[in-house]
Amino acid sequence: MQENNRKPIYVTQPSLPPLNEYISMLEGVWERGILTHNGPLVQQLEKDLIKYLGIKNLVAVTSGTIALQLAIRALNLEGEIITTPFTWIATASAIMWEKCKPVFVDVQPDTFNIDPNKIEEKITDSTSAILPVHVFSNPCDIEAIQEIADKHKLKVIYDAAHAMCVEYNGKSLLEYGDISATSFHATKIFQSGEGGACVTTDNHISDRLRRLRFFGHDDNKDIVDEGMNGKMTEIHAALGLSSLKWLNNVLRDRRDKYELYVDLLSKSSKIKFQRFPPESYNYSYMPVLLEDENHLHAVLNHLNKHNIYPRRYFYPALNTVEAVTTADSFPVADDLASRILCLPLFYTLKKKDIEHICTLIINS
């Protein structure tokens, strides 16, 4: 077969449950006629995820972006929020939609996470919170961040969009900070099509998040808070519930494939990997750092010619994006953004595809 006749290989594909399992859940939705407003499947999904992750509270919402916005609102944040420029635009746009100002702090070159040593110099009288990102599920330096937050009386929200199913020091990574906001988007390790959740150990914050996602209603439908519409639908919850049954298989599969990539690509001294604690990582992405931007373009073009489409997550670094640009410099984030590539990694990707991709990369 000609190379360009091969089926395209994208950076990811959703881990879909067997269609009949999803359909049988939908049959119940059709019978009940309840599509939204905290229906039984949303409640079931929340309950099952709480059990699966071993956590105290989880509030399911429409996306990871809305989870971030609700978290900011639930903590009454205002003024400046310290975050990282090496992330998806949603981290910064959620802050701005909540009328706060993102203030960037550069990242560490090996973990890709916010550098705690550079946080304090950015704290001002207007700072209300730190909003770090567990990049590609790699846990941030939680202890150092919490120490700074405590010292300056700041809240901590983790952008945990990538960080489902990661254990850190014996508990879910999602239970650190005041609130973690995660994503169930189609491209994430656990998916409900679109979706996300806020996780907190504080019952009062959890109750408030529930009100905020539902127009500010309390249980009697009185309007007691300034809410919005962040409710997950039964259709999405059904997809989440049927996907959850297969999640352990997905997690195992990704780890094996990640390790195969590392094994094959380590033959090249030009390719480097993210540093992370293997016991606290979910292998949801396959990031590689190339030598420089020229090397990146050579690899990208070569792969694209063979119908393979990795993605530049995260490019550009947010400090260079017009809506949030700042005069400060972020050399580490700029450098990472210029030469990082996330390679295809998903359940139906074959071992021989990975071998093919690695051969192409090494020969670029």
Stretch that binds ligand T4K, among 83-91, 204-212, 214-222, 254-262 (CB under 6 A): 83-91
- Is the Cβ of residue 301 or residue 309 nearer to ligand T4K in the bound state? 309
Smallest distance from ligand T4K to CB 241, Å:
18
Smallest distance from ligand T4K to CB 346, Å:
8
Smallest distance from ligand T4K to CB 11, Å:
5
Smallest distance from ligand T4K to CB 364, Å:
20
Sole binder of ligand T4K in the list 25, 90, 119, 286 (CB under 6 A): 90
Enumerate residues 9-28 that contact ligand T4K by CB under 6 A.
Answer: 10-14
Under a CB-based contact definition with an 8 Å cutoff, are residues 213 and 70 in contact?
yes
Inter-helix orientation angle 351-362/293-305, to 10°: 130
Enumerate residues 262-291 that contact ligand T4K by CB under 6 A.
Answer: none
Smallest distance from ligand T4K to CB 223, Å:
26
Enumerate residues 196-225 that contact ligand T4K by CB under 6 A.
Answer: 196
Indicate whether 357 belongs to the interface with ligand T4K (CB under 6 A).
no
Under a CB-based contact definition with an 8 Å cutoff, are residues 67 and 205 in contact?
no
* DSSP class of 219: T
Sole binder of ligand T4K in the list 39, 64, 227, 344 (CB under 6 A): 64
Q: Report how far residue 107's alpha carbon sits from residue 113's, in angstroms, rounded to the nearest whole number.
A: 5
Query: Measured at CB, which residue is nearest to ligand T4K?
Result: 64
Kindly write out the interface string for residues 164-183 of this chain, putting x where it contacts ligand T4K by CB under 6 A and - elsewhere: -------------------x
Enumerate residues 291-350 that contact ligand T4K by CB under 6 A.
Answer: 309, 311, 313
Under a CB-based contact definition with an 8 Å cutoff, are residues 185 and 194 in contact?
yes
Q: Report how far residue 242's alpha carbon sits from residue 190's, in angstroms, rounded to the nearest whole number.
A: 11
Neighbours of 101 (CB within 10 A): 17
Which string of DSSP letters, residue by residue, matches 92-116?
HHHHHHTT-EEEE--B-TTT-SB-G
- Is the Cβ of residue 192 or residue 217 nearer to ligand T4K in the bound state? 192
Sole binder of ligand T4K in the list 123, 133, 250, 286 (CB under 6 A): 133
Q: Report how far residue 167's alpha carbon sits from residue 306's, in angstroms, rounded to the nearest whole number.
A: 37
Q: How far is CA 105 from the centre of its chain?
A: 19
Count of residues that interact with ligand T4K, criterion CB under 6 A: 23
Q: How far is CA 95 from the centre of its chain?
A: 16
Quick one: which of 254, 286, 253, 303 has its CA closest to 8?
303
- Grouping H, G, I as helix, E, B as strand and the rest as coil, residue 288 is strand
Neighbours of 256 (CB within 10 A): 12
Binding residues (CB under 6 A) for ligand T4K: these are: 10-14, 63-65, 87-88, 90-91, 133, 159, 161, 183, 185-187, 196, 309, 311, 313
